[in-house]
Amino acid sequence: MREDILIPYLKEQENPKLLAGDMSMMRHVSPEGGNDTVGYGHKLSNHEQLTGTAYGLPIEELTEEDAQRILKADVDRAHAAASRHLKSAYGVALEELPGREQAMLVDYQFNVRGGISSFPSFTKAVLIGDESTQHDEYIRHYTDAKGVRRPLARNRAFFNTFMSESAKASFGEYS
């Protein structure tokens, strides 16, 4: 998988202020409600919220390096979960896919409640290289704290990073 593209994309989408050096954004309110988020998109579990730690690290003392370690651990978890789902639902190993397709599916697993299983049409389109359906199905939404369904701001960035012709060229792959 192309973490050299996925990780910077996730940092920019999850917490651009922290990425720019604003350490006051290490812990912030999640726009969709619920527990706070730390670092680059790590939604605190109830246990983490209660213990004041994320992956054993004290939340109130997190550094930029800690935020990067947490992001890497979350991406690894998303990768493993996406791999398990693809194997059981489609008989396909995530690692067999080109890097761009792996990164797209890991991003969905990382960012969407229910992961790639919540987007079966998009997932299948990625697996079979159906770009028309990918274009029809990639838009994600969230429900804010007031119950209003809104498109994610990252939809455009996702398209530009993974689906545009220039993105395909940056991955060195045309699928």
Residue-wise pLDDT tens digits, 52-97: 999 999 999 999 999 999 999 999 999 999 999 999 999 999 999 9
Q: Is the residue at 80 inside a domain? A: yes
Question: What is the helix (H) or strand (E) element at residue 141, kind and residue range?
Answer: strand 141-143
Angle CA(130)–CA(112)–CA(69) in degrees, nearest 5?
110
Is 52 inside a domain boundary? no
Q: Is the pLDDT of residue 32 over 80?
A: no
Please report the pLDDT score of residue 173 as a whole number. Answer: 58
**In whole angstroms, what is the distance from residue 129 CA to residue 174 CA?**
10
* 0.85 exceeded by pTM: yes
Is position 113 within any domain?
A: yes
Give the angle 74-79-85 at the CA atoms, nearest 5°: 125
Residue 31 has pLDDT above 80, yes or no: no
SS3 150: strand
60 Cα distance to chain centroid:
24
Give the per-residue pLDDT at 162. 96
Residues belonging to the chain: 175
Domain count across the chain: 1
Please report whether residue 23 resides in a domain. no
- What share of residues in the chain are helix, strand, coil (percent, to 5)? 60, 10, 30
Q: Is the pLDDT of residue 174 over 60?
A: no
Secondary structure of residue 57 in the 3-state scheme: strand
Q: Is the pLDDT of residue 110 over 50?
A: yes
Judge whether 165 lies within some domain: yes
Residue 137: name the closest of 145, 79, 146, 128 by CA: 128
Q: Which two tokens stand for residue 166?
A: 């220039």
pLDDT-derived band at 113, boundaries 50, 70, 90: confident
Answer whether residue 161 is part of any domain.
yes
Residue 7 confidence (pLDDT): 97
Residue 161 belongs to what domain range?
Answer: 3-14+63-171
**pLDDT confidence bin for 175, thresholds 50/70/90:** very low
Say if residue 153's pLDDT is above 90.
no
Beta bridge partners of 143: 149
Q: Give a yes or no: residue 20 inside a domain.
A: no
Rounded to whole angstroms, the Cα distance separating 159 from 139 reads 9
